[in-house]
Amino acid sequence: MQRPTKEQINQLPTYQGLALDDILVIENEDDAAQALAVLHQQVSVGYDTESKPIFRKGEVSPGPTLIQLATVTQGFLFPTRFPVALAAVAEILSNPQIQKVGFGLKDDNRELRGKLGISIVNTEDLAKTLKRLAGEKNDIGARAGVAMVLQARLGKGAQKSNWGAYPLSESQTLYAANDAHSAICIQHKIKGL
């Protein structure tokens, strides 16, 4: 397993993850109950967060505005503006029975704890797992990880969009869900699941 170059990544087909029909945005009690029913059945879930971008020097991030969890077949987006969404995602993130898998989790976890008071337990940082497997000296990011393990190119089009805006656009919804989805798919592939 070797870290691909930018040129090699650009040659790969686009990552075909979840479609809009596979993604649920949690806005109310019914959405939360539906998400929790699925997520409580999982051994591990893909995980990521998005925050409103900072444009001015000295401006402080308000913390994550969106928390994403995914199974191999479904994505769940938890906008932190909805107390019911925040309560539901906190229940999963703090559950020691369910592993949360993603890239560069240290910053995400610090923001969740510091800004939202959520303690996340039982995580696997794929940036470190893939670094070890590839014998690299630097962490491997999501884009390189998807290319290495899934032989696809993860689109980053919505990455710098305004995650503080609501409702999310279709491109934001797909981008956010598939960041978490690609993480769980990578874990399954490297563990032979």
Which residues are bridge partners to 76 per DSSP?
24, 69
Which residues are bridge partners to 69 per DSSP?
47, 76
Q: Rounded to 5 degrees, what are φ and ψ at 49?
A: -135, 160
pLDDT in tens, the chain (193 residues): 788 888 999 999 999 999 999 999 999 999 999 999 999 999 999 999 998 776 677 767 777 999 999 999 999 999 999 999 999 999 999 999 999 999 999 988 888 998 899 989 999 999 999 999 999 999 999 999 999 999 999 987 776 788 888 999 999 999 999 999 999 999 999 998 6
Q: How far apart are CA 43 and CA 191, in angstroms?
A: 13
Q: What is the pLDDT of residues 16-61, one digit of tens each?
A: 999 999 999 999 999 999 999 999 999 999 999 998 776 677 767 7
Which residues are bridge partners to 75 per DSSP?
23, 70
Q: Which residue ranges form the domains of the chain, and what is each CATH number?
A: 6-190 (3.30.420.10)
Instruction: Single out the residue of 59, 70, 69, 65 nearest to residue 112, CA to CA.
Output: 65
Q: How far apart are CA 127 and CA 138, in angstroms?
A: 9
Alpha helix ranges (H) inside 27-72: 29-39
What would you measure as the largest C-alpha separation in the chain, in angstroms?
45
* Distance in angstroms between the alpha carbons of the first and the last residue of the chain: 18
Which residues are bridge partners to 78 per DSSP?
67
HSE value, Cβ hemisphere, 13 Å, CA-based, for 21: 0
